[in-house]
Structure 1
Amino acid sequence: MKMMTSDGIQLAYTDQGDGPVILLLAGYSGIKEEWQYQVTFLLQQGYRVITLDWRSHGASTRTAKHLRIMRLAADVQELLLVCQVTTATLVGHSMGASVIWAYLTIFGEQRVSRIVTIDESPKPLNDTYWQAGLNGLTWENFWVRLPYILRQPMTVAGISEPLRQELKTTRAVHPFDEALCGPLLGDHLQQDWRETCQSLTIPQLMIVGAASTMWQGDYTIICENNNNNVVRIQNAGHMPHMEQPDAVNAYLHTFISA
């Protein structure tokens, strides 16, 4: 399915099933097909499941226009309106989590019943007072390291061969342009959503890849004394939803149905 945003960009999405709505949002360079195991499971549990390809990702329009986290949050709002969703659970992996926090900052919690973030710190940049961001990333080395972020190991358990082949086939048809999307990654990594996390009045589940090499320190400390849950997926790196889908699905279902 396709929708046109208010700034003239065509976005690809899927909308399947009936029941409580769950919107699955991939990370930087990610595509909606990454959620295959979650979509199948959640549909079986009686949910309505929506997935989205960000602008310049997957089957959506390739463009340099408005490649900013705040604009992606607006795209989410417009998707919810197109799909006539009045309330939803938002699930975001990596940059998708950043977009969720941006969405809540701009649009509030009116359409969101709860959120799930997967392996993402609310502040990727480390500084003197925050040492729970992207491993080794500081303002001093930011622009030098930026082009190499995707070169880091992302998984420890690997991804099943059927899913790997599906992603390979889809990416061959819709290749990702790192040079085009570089400004989006830069914008994402400069955000600070700690205040948003601390001010939430809806439940948040933080899913952490226990063996993820992406992060230093423990960014889940931002959830202390707040309406949050933290779970760690064993034998998983930065992509628990693909590395250990059964474990992630179980936590999702328990959290959403509570």
Structure 2
Amino acid sequence: MDTAPATATFTTRDGCALAYRDTGGQGIPLVLLHGWSQSQATFDRLLPLLRPERRVITYDMRNHGISGRTDNGARVATLAADLDQLLTHLGIGRAHLLGHSMGASVLWSHLELFGPDRVRSLVIVDQPVACTVLPWLDPADAAQFGAILDYDGAAAFARSMLLADAGKARHDFLTSMLTKDIPAQDLEWLYAQNLLLPMPWGARLLLDHVMQDWRDVPPRIPVPTLVIGGEVSHVAPASQAWTAAHTPDAELRILNREEGGAHFAFFESPREFADTLRDFLKRN
């Protein structure tokens, strides 16, 4: 396996140091965004399968991984602003952007706040456009686009991250997102990444994330988009089909069980995931 690129840092406009890695190289870069409570290290199995022909950039969002800790900014919109500042810092005019789970929400927020000028293509990995049946949503309709929590359940979910047995709640939640036969050492490594996210900041971010309704964003995305779901993911594959159907220039890929088709397919079965991603990027 190739050696991972060296880690560098840059400081956001509000003083938070973000850790990032840049493989270097020519052409339009690919920027990978991790999900809630994870880190850029979750992409380490994927990176060697994308190099050396492509410049790839990963980073730890604020309060995640080895990035700086801050009491402010526990909002998806702040994370979108951080992404925009990182692109500016690296002098990137346009990029392919991939977001996993909450990382996809950060991309939708970035498009809404900053527009599509910096986006060559978009890859949405296993994230519904709404996680919660919000008061203005009809439960039957919400099920079609992936809402899996009720309003009170969303608050209880965030609260569970603050209780005395929060460690168990975090471990159980992570386990629910993985295939049943994942090696124990892989599960515990992912859990260790999860524990790097401090509370209560993480709970505040989680609640902000699951309370978003992004349905109005996909229909206005003007760039090629790949939506990737998993056959055995806790995120219903039908929700990913909804997102693809409501994005003008989108295609859908549902990874099956043998392809690691749970929430962390790029970690559990990186080669199959890389094949799908490379094919999309070559065509765009």
Length-normalised TM-score, structure 1: 0.90
* Equivalence map 1:53-132=2 (5 Å): 53-126=60-133, 127-128=137-138, 129-131=141-143, 132=145
Give, in whole Å, the separation in 2 of the partners of 1:179 and 1:60: 17
Aligned twin of 2:224: 203
Aligned twin of 1:144: 156
Alpha carbons of 1:62 and 1:156: their partners in 2 closer, same or farther (altered >3 Å)?
A: same
* Partner secondary structure for residue 19 of structure 2: strand
2:198 to 156, 177, 184: 177
Pairwise CA distance, 1:43: 1.4
Alpha carbons of 1:49 and 1:165: their partners in 2 closer, same or farther (altered >3 Å)?
A: farther
Moved more, 114-123 or 213-222: 213-222
Length-normalised TM-score, structure 2: 0.82
Number of residue-to-residue matches in the alignment: 254
Pairwise CA distance, 1:219: 4.2
* Partner secondary structure for residue 194 of structure 1: coil
Q: Deviations over 1:21-67 (max 9, x none)?
A: 000000000100100122111113x1111101010001111122111
Pairwise CA distance, 1:158: 5.2
The runs of 5 or more residues in structure 1 that have no matched partner are none
Answer whether contact 1:18 1:48 (CA < 8 A) is retained.
Answer: yes
Q: Deviations over 1:65-111 (max 9, x none)?
A: 11110110000000001111111000010000000010011111111
* Partner secondary structure for residue 46 of structure 2: helix
1:193 to 198, 210, 214: 214
Give, in whole Å, the separation in 1 of the partners of 2:67 and 2:83: 14
Identity %: 28
Aligned twin of 1:154: 177
Matched, 1:240 2:265: yes
Give, in whole Å, the separation in 2 of the partners of 1:162 and 1:17: 31
Alpha carbons of 1:250 and 1:147: their partners in 2 closer, same or farther (altered >3 Å)?
A: farther
Give, in whole Å, the separation in 2 of the partners of 1:113 and 1:83: 16
* Partner secondary structure for residue 121 of structure 2: strand
Matched, 1:4 2:16: no
Alpha carbons of 1:15 and 1:35: their partners in 2 closer, same or farther (altered >3 Å)?
A: same
Give, in whole Å, the separation in 1 of the partners of 2:63 and 2:36: 10
The runs of 5 or more residues in structure 2 that have no matched partner are 1-7, 161-168
Letter in 1 for 2:116: E
* Partner secondary structure for residue 218 of structure 1: helix
